[in-house]
Structure 1
Amino acid sequence: MELRALRYFVTVADELHFGRAAERLHIAQPAVSRQIARLERELGVRLFDRSPRRVRLTAAGHRVLDVAREALAAADRVRVVARAQAGVMRIGTGTGQFTARLERGIDALRERSPAFDVVLVDLPLPARLNALRQGEIDLALARGVRSAPGLRVLPTWTESLFAVVSARHPAAGRAVVGVAELAAGPLRTSRDHDLPAEVLRVTVPQVRAGTVADTIVEVGSDPRSWTVLPADQVAEIRSARVRAIPLEPHTTVTGSVVVPDDLPSPCVAAHRAAFGD
């Protein structure tokens, strides 16, 4: 019996909806259905009553659910103990993001506990949160996340947002600029873009690029396109082909440390303090 199947079962039991469970697990719905069917065959019982209108736990499903939660909690405790012995902290981040904050945070954590190694795991935001749920990383940094099922989202810092345009863009010499003024050109975003759409407060055509560095190069080559970046990333721009302009009205995004919801309180406080301003 695989822990993955138990995790899928518990998620479906929480949601009582295969589609929502698949979204929460960040996998396709058929994969969830296959795992549940396989688990039912292995256990020799039906776990869910399914109908077009609703999904319900069977009596056997209710009995299995409590034990499955216990098994997953035990597995998580094993991972915590193993990682503590290994002295490794795996931090989820995005390519080219949080560099200065990571350096400061790791230094602060090492002041409290010097003997650990750090492994940075670059993942897009949805995969980053899912890796944290699955125990594949120990904490994640993220922007614009208000909540995440199964995780604790700890608002930790606030960053101003800037429009980034080509040096040849008509607004390049402005002291401030509004998003609505830029909306005539395409908004370029990277696969690592953490900013939720509502932060921009306007609907505009979007062009998806590769990394943040790719996005900056593409904006610099196109006098019409633009992107929006937080202050941390703007500080790391080295290109003379683009200009960063504060948004008007002043717009910010909240950055968070995201941790497993069962992380002990002293660790939660230490992580939040380490990565704050």
Structure 2
Amino acid sequence: MDVDLRKLRYFVAVAEESHFGRAAERLHITQPVLSRQIRALEHEVGAQLFIRGRQSTELTAAGGQLLEDARPLLAAAQALVLRVQQAERGAATFTVGFMPGITVTRAVREFTARHPELDVQVVRTSWDTQVRSVHEGVLDVSFVRLPVEHRGLTLRPLFHEPRVAVLPARHRLAGKQSLGIADLAAEQLLQDPDAVPEWRDLPGRSSAGEAGSWPVFHTVEEKLEHVATSGGVLVLPLSTAAYYTHTDVAHVPIDDIGPNEVCLAWSADRRSPLLSEFADIAAEQH
């Protein structure tokens, strides 16, 4: 059976919106057309994908599995088109992503010296884009901070570093030499809780620390401003906290959680020798 990528895109839109009407608006098609396409997809895969309600649409177990598999498949298709277009233009590029606080200069310089024919570019990423941009073909390799979803990736461990709590400068914990993750149980975490599973899984964590009641921030700068002006805390790798200077925040080592691990990531379905060569260089530099 051949899977229709267009139907998969329609399916992902409905799953993400949890509503056929909103998904149809997002896709710029009519709702009846979208409903027919989803019914056709359900017929093709032989499973019901959604439980349709008046107010919302929920995934079935089969739909949840399809969503998990569809996202990397669609990203790989997009990456394929991008690489073909680059080849058509004769564009010999190699793009390296990096997270804030990670220095890639020496590795990029060494790789560029070995391959002067390549246009080597660097792109700063975020927690949301460090892996997604690899799957989508925007990046050839990416220096990523764990934890990340491993599916579809090759990961090469590089180094690790301590993590610190970033607090308002006048916070009761700001002057301590170190603290434990349980000391932050009652605090509002201003980042994806999955990035700090030790905080997320604290027993008896109070509702004051629950995620979802604060705005979503997309950059470290936004998060730091919120820490300084409105409170809340972050748990960051030491190099990231040190990279940003802000007189109204302080960072304190957390002594009872593991370090942050940095890896080099690239798409598992790519076999270019340039990828493993750059990984070797990056490992030597760290």
TM-score under structure 2 normalisation? 0.64
Q: Percent identity?
A: 20
Quote how far apart the aligned CAs of 1:175 are: 0.9
Q: What residue is the counterpart of 2:264 in the other structure?
A: 257
* SS of alignment partner, residue 183 of structure 2: helix
Contact 1:125 / 1:194 at 8 angstroms: preserved in 2?
no
Within 2, Cα distance between the matches of 1:149 and 1:264?
16
Could you say which residue in structure 2 is the equivalent of 1:112? 114
- AA in 1 matched with 2:190: R
Shift of 1:81: 7.5
Separation (CA, whole Å) in 1 of partners of 2:150 and 2:6: 16
Q: Distance in 1 between matches of 2:250 and 2:61?
A: 53
Q: CA deviation at 1:230?
A: 0.5
| Alignment check: 8 A CA contact 1:162 1:247 kept | yes
2:84 aligns with one of 79, 82, 89: 79
Code of the residue aligned with 2:263 in structure 1: it is S
Q: Choose 247-256 or 123-132, whichever is displaced more.
A: 123-132
Map of 1:49 onto structure 2: 46
Aligned to 1:238: 245
- Structure 2: gaps (5+ residues): 28-32, 50-59, 63-72
After superposition, the C-alpha distances for 1:155-176 in whole angstroms (9 at most, x for unaligned) are: 3221210111122111121111
Q: Deviations over 1:132-163 (max 9, x none)?
A: 22323322232123543322233322121011
The aligned counterpart of 1:228 is 235
**CA–CA distance in structure 1, aligned partners of residues 35 and 261 of structure 2:** 36
Q: Distance in 1 between matches of 2:36 and 2:238?
A: 45
In 2 relative to 1, CA 210–266 (structure 1 residues): closer, same or farther, beyond 3 Å? Answer: closer
The gaps in structure 1 that reach 5 residues or longer are: 12-17, 56-67
In 2: Cα distance, 1:102 partner to 1:36 partner: 49
Q: Tell me how far apart the structure 1 counterparts of residues 128 and 271 of structure 2 sit (CA, whole Å).
A: 24
Cα 1:240/1:146, change in 2 over 3 Å: closer
Give the whole-Å Cα distance in 1 for the aligned partners of 2:7 and 2:141. 21
Question: How far apart are residue 50 of structure 1 and its match?
Answer: 3.1
Cα–Cα, structure 1 residues 188 and 147, in superposed 2: closer, same or farther, change >3 Å? closer
Match of 1:216 among 210, 224, 235: 224
How far residue 273 of structure 1 moved from its aligned partner, in angstroms, is 3.2
SS class of match (1:188): coil
The answer as to 2:138 corresponding to 1:139 is no
Task: Give the partner amino acid of 2:247.
Answer: A
Is contact 1:143-1:195 (8 Å) kept? Answer: no
Counterpart residue type for residue 195 of structure 2: P
Shift of 1:76: 6.8
Letter of the structure 2 residue corresponding to residue 91 of structure 1: V
What is aligned with 2:162? Answer: 160
Change in Cα spacing, 1:126 to 1:184, as seen in structure 2 (3 Å) is: closer
Distance 1:199 1:241 in 2: 26
1:63 — aligned with what? Answer: none
**Alpha-carbon distance in 2 for matches of 1:116, 1:35:** 46
Conserved? CA contact 2:83–2:137, under 8 Å: no
Distance 2:261 2:219 in 1: 21
- Amino acid across the alignment from 2:46: D
TM-score by length of 1: 0.65
Report the number of matched residues: 239
1:27 and 1:121 map into 2 onto residues whose CA distance is 27
The CA deviation at 1:212 is 0.5
Q: For 1:83 and 1:93, how far apart are their aligned partners in 2?
A: 27
Residue 184 of structure 1: aligned partner: 186
In structure 1, the residue matched to 2:197 is 198
Alignment partners' CA distance in 1, 2:146 and 2:228 = 26
Letter in structure 1 aligned against 2:45: F
Aligned-residue offset at 1:106: 1.7
Question: Whole-Å Cα distance in 2 between the matches of residues 75 and 188 of structure 1?
Answer: 35
Aligned-pair CA distance for 1:244: 1.4
SS of the residue 2:166 aligns to: strand
Give 1:236 deviation, angstroms: 0.8
The 8 Å contact of residues 131 and 148 in structure 2, kept in 1 or not, is answered as no
* Distance in structure 1 (CA, Å) of the matches to 2:96 and 2:194: 19
After TM superposition, where is structure 1 displaced by more than 6 Å over at least 4 residues in a row? 29-33, 52-55
Relative to 1, partners in 2 of residues 1:110 and 1:83: Cα closer, same or farther, differing over 3 Å?
farther
Change (3 A) 1:241 1:123: same
2:147 match: secondary structure: coil
Q: Is the CA contact (8 Å cut-off) linking 1:257 and 1:271 kept in structure 2?
A: no
